[in-house]
Amino acid sequence: MPRDGLVLLPDGQEEHVIERILDERRRGRGWQYLVRWKGYGQGDDKWLSRRDVEETIALDEWLRKRGGRGGV
C-alpha cells in the first residue's frame, strides 16, 4: 500500500518527502540530520548527511528554530 509522502518525479523515479528534522550530530568533518519521512513513523527515521538535506524546507525550518545555528 503506498504511503503518504511518496512523490513521483517527472522522470518516473519515486522520492520520499522529509516531514521534519528531529536532531543533528557531528560526523567526521560534517553534519548529519535525523529525519522523519512524511507518512512514516519513528521506526523509519534515518540519519542523512547535510548534503542530502541541503535544499529542503525541513532544513530551513530546523535552522530557523535553532536561531540560524546548526551544523553549518
Torsion from C-alpha of 45, 43, 11, 2, nearest 10 degrees: -150
Give the pLDDT band (50/70/90) at residue 1: very low
Q: What is the pTM of this model?
A: 0.79
Look at phi and psi of residue 70 and say left if phi exceeds 0, alpha if psi is from -120 to 50, else beta. left
Sorted by where each begins, the domain ranges of the chain are 6-65
Length of the chain as a residue count: 72
pLDDT in tens, 26-63: 999 999 999 999 989 999 999 999 999 998 999 999 99
Task: Report the CATH fold assignment for 6-65.
Answer: OB fold (Dihydrolipoamide Acetyltransferase, E2P) (2.40.50)
CA–CA dist 13, 34 (Å, integer): 23
Maximum pairwise Cα distance, the chain: 39
